[in-house]
Amino acid sequence: MMIEPGAKNTAQWLVTGQLFTGGTPPFEIKFMGNDKMAVVIKYGTSSSPVEKTVYIDTADIQRGKWYDMEIDVQLDAAGDNGHAYVWRDGTKIANYTGKIGYTNATKSHWEMGAYRQSPSGGESFAVNYKDIDLTYGSAGHSDGN
C-alpha cells in the first residue's frame, strides 16, 4: 500500500482498508484527522458498536513509500477467540486478542480504497495497492455477495 504525496489528511476518519460486514466495519486501517496510521477494531452489534484503537503510529506515515502490509483477522463477537494481527514491513504493529465483530453479522469481505468523511482542509487523497493476496475463512467471501 502506498499513499501518494500530498497535503496531510484533515478528515476526522479516513479508511484505507476494512473488513466489511455491512454498516460500520469491525476492522479498519485508518487515519483520524492526521497522517498517523491506526488499526481500529469494533465489536458488539453493528448498530451499537464498541470501538477500540489497538495501534496508532507515533509519527506520520511516509507518503510515496510502498508499505508491505500483512493482516490476520479472526472475527469472534461473543468470545475471546477473535484477533487482529497486523504487520507492516515485517514488524508486528497490532497484536489484539479478544472480541471483534458483530453478533448480528454473518458474512464479511475485504474492501480497499479511500473511504472518508469530508476533509476540513479540502485536500485530495490517493492510495495505491499492488500484489494483493486474500484468503478467507468460512464466514468470509470474495465474490462481492
- Tell me what pLDDT residue 59 has: 96
Q: Whole-model pTM?
A: 0.90
Q: Is residue 23 part of a domain?
A: yes
Q: What is the pLDDT of residues 115-125, one digit of tens each?
A: 999 999 999 99
Supply the CATH number for residue 26's domain. Answer: 2.60.120.200
CA distance 12 to 23: 18
Residue 130 counted as domain residue: no
Nearest 5°: CA angle at 47, between 42 and 51?
20
In a domain, 29, yes or no: yes
The verdict on residue 38 lying in a domain is yes
8 A C-beta contact, residue 18 and residue 115? yes
The number of distinct structural domains making up the chain is: 1
Confidence of residue 105 (pLDDT cuts 50, 70, 90): confident
Q: Provide the domain limits for residue 102.
A: 2-122
Q: Does residue 68 fall inside a structural domain?
A: yes
